Amino acid sequence: MEKYRIGVVGCAGRMGRLNLANIVNDEACELAGGTEPAGSPNLGADLGELAGLGRLGLTVGADPAELFGKSDAVIDFTLPAATVRHSELAAAKGVALVAGTTGLDAAQQAAVEAAGARTAIVQAANMSLGVNLLAMLVEQAAAALDEDYDIEVLEMHHRQKVDAPSGTALLLGRAAAAGRGVELDRVSQRTRDGFTGARRPGDIGFATLRGGDVAGDHSVIFAGPGERVELTHKATTRDVFARGALKAALWTRGRPPGLYGMRDVLGL
């Protein structure tokens, strides 16, 4: 079987560099290339050196359309507006897309979903196996515990993260809401400041912490009368997300168009 050609957009970012290294080190695939936005100081840099692997003879480009034209799948951990453009390129060229970008608004999410009608797109706020198992457990716990158990989602990330709550926190909130049979937007409580009054029954609360170089800590707390159940996942390295992204990219081989999630990839 021919190697699967995988490209990386945003290849000079923290996740981009990890994605490059994992692709190069996996015998099932071939690095098709990588891109950065126009004006990036990394344009023209050797992709292997970016990934800490030594020279590969492939350099960072600025044209995503060219990259999509020579790839079977592309991995995207960038920004919401860029991910929309990349999903449209993927659909136009029949190339699979693995999107780990978070913070998309409703219109941007709708655009990605529209592209998924034309090509295979795996979209996930978090691509680690552990987090996706956690989401399943959260859904089951929320279904088993009634509204006497208040649900709070607590997350902490590094100081450079720009969106809050994290995409993973929202993923876990949606899992809890699904277990309760409610819409998250109807019961979500994102902020508390000042004289807030008593907690509303049935709310799903979110608390956000930022600092240091934390890769990602998430806890879902079910606080009931006389007891608490806490489900927690802690990522000690971002490589768990890159490994999941590569697994998702390889999984897209031969898949029909559709918007998929990591539960599909992992068979959960």
pLDDT tens across 93-116, in order? 999 999 999 889 999 999 999 999
Tell me whether the omega of the peptide bond preceding residue 41 falls within 30 degrees of 0, making it cis: no
Q: Residues 141, 98: one domain?
A: no
Q: Is 259 exposed, middle or buried (0-12, 13-18, 19+ CB in 10 A)?
A: buried
Q: Are residues 159 and 178 in the same domain?
A: yes
Same domain, 146 and 77: no
> Do residues 97 and 140 both lie within one domain?
no
| DSSP letter for each residue of 140-204 | HHHHHS-TTSEEEEEEEE-TT--SSS-HHHHHHHHHHHHHHTS-HHHHEE----SS--SPPTT-E
Query: 117 and 140 share a domain?
Result: no
- Would you state the structure tokens that stand for residue 56, as one six-digit string? 């590969």
Handedness of CA 210, 212, 216, 217 (dihedral sign): negative
> Which amino acids are annotated catalytic?
157, 161
Burial of 45 (0-12, 13-18, 19+ CB in 10 A): middle
In the predicted model, residues of the chain with pLDDT beneath 50 are: none
Q: Both 116 and 157 in a single domain? A: no
Cα 44 to chain centroid, rounded: 27
Same domain, 74 and 137: no
Query: How many angstroms separate the CA atoms of 253 and 250, rounded?
Result: 6
Overall domain count for the chain: 2
Report which of 193, 131, 179, 192 is spatially closest to residue 151, judged by C-alpha positions.
179
The pLDDT, as a whole number, for residue 103 is 86
Model pLDDT, residue 102:
87
**List of residues 6+ apart from 172 with CB closer than 8 A:** 134, 135, 138, 153, 218, 220
Do 222 and 152 share a structural domain? yes
258 lies in the same domain as 218: no
Question: Are 248 and 228 contained in the same domain?
Answer: no
For residue 228, what is the domain's CATH number?
3.30.360.10
Structure tokens at 42: 């990394």
pLDDT at residue 234 in the model: 95
251: domain range?
A: 4-123+238-266
Do residues 48 and 105 both lie within one domain?
Answer: yes
Q: What is the CATH number of the domain that holds 98?
A: 3.40.50.720
Q: Are 26 and 11 in contact (CB under 8 A)?
A: no
Give residue 231's pLDDT: 98
Same-domain pairing of 193 and 135: yes
CB-CB contact of 261 with 122 (8 Å): yes
What sign does the dihedral 51-5-22-125 (CA atoms) show? positive
The answer, as to whether pTM is greater than 0.85, is no
Distance of CA 25 to the CA centre of its chain: 22
Element (H, E) at 262: helix 262-266
